[in-house]
Amino acid sequence: MRELMKIELKKMSLRGQIKVLAIVNAVVFPLLLLPFLFEGDGLPDKHVLVDVLIKGIFMIWQSVLISSVIVDEFKTKTMMQLYTYPVKKSAIIGSKIMLIVMIMTVFSLVTQAIQHGLFSGASLVLPSLEYSLGLQDIIEVVLTTPLAVMLGMIPLTVGLWMKSTLAPVVTSFFMIAVLGGGGAESGVQLMNNLIAMAIMSLVGLVFIVISIKDVTKKDLIV
């Protein structure tokens, strides 16, 4: 499994993914800073909005990785090369899924730390920002972030089922619209709620299992 993950990591280009991570962090802060400053109390809890925005961005990014690393390889039949290795098909697809989950979890947590740190620091310089993040908020962010990554694996099953590399990305946008489109009293809080995310992440886990079983029954998507 470890060797398979190393092969996938080289194909994925970790350096390229880190560059994308840097771009994401460079964009998120100014994207929200001005609205926070001008709208002030008109916005719900600012740290929740930052958290939800990051989760949404990474859900889309994750769907792109799912499309390129897994779905596209089945469609173009490049997966056939890995199938010649003396390992189980479940280990091959499992290594890809595990690598995506690990990278997205680490990158998302790093981004959460950077962005919340930047906004907290900015609030010290700009009192009108009024950005506060308590210990309970930090715990919720740390615990719900990996759960959001698990939930973000649902597009994989959709992509394999529809035999489309576009389907996972579209599915991720739909999920974000449903989970984060209800405002401060519903959708936004949902992606920040530990119990809700734990339940939904179990759904994501079920979809992962379904995907692995499905692809091990078939050689390639045709």
**222 within some domain:** no
**19 within some domain:** yes
- pLDDT tens digit sequence for 149-175: 999 999 998 988 888 899 999 999 999
Q: How many domains does the chain have?
A: 1
Per-residue confidence (pLDDT) for residue 94, from 0 to 100: 85
pLDDT at residue 190 above 80?
A: no
Per-residue confidence (pLDDT) for residue 107, from 0 to 100: 97
Domain range enclosing 114 = 2-217
- pLDDT tens digit sequence for 31-74: 888 878 776 555 557 888 889 899 999 999 999 999 988 888 77
Per-residue confidence (pLDDT) for residue 185, from 0 to 100: 46
SS3 of the chain: CHHHHHHHHHHHCHHHHHHHHHHHHHHHHHHHHHHHHHHHHHCCCHHHHHHHHHHHHHHHHHHHHHHHHHHHHHHCCCHHHHHCCCCCHHHHHHHHHHHHHHHHHHHHHHHHHHHHHHHHHHHHHCHHHCCCCCHHHHHHHHHHHHHHHHHCCHHHHHHHHHCCCCHHHHHHHHHHHHHHCCCCCCHHHHCCCHHHHHHHHHHHHHHHHHHHHHHHHCCCCC
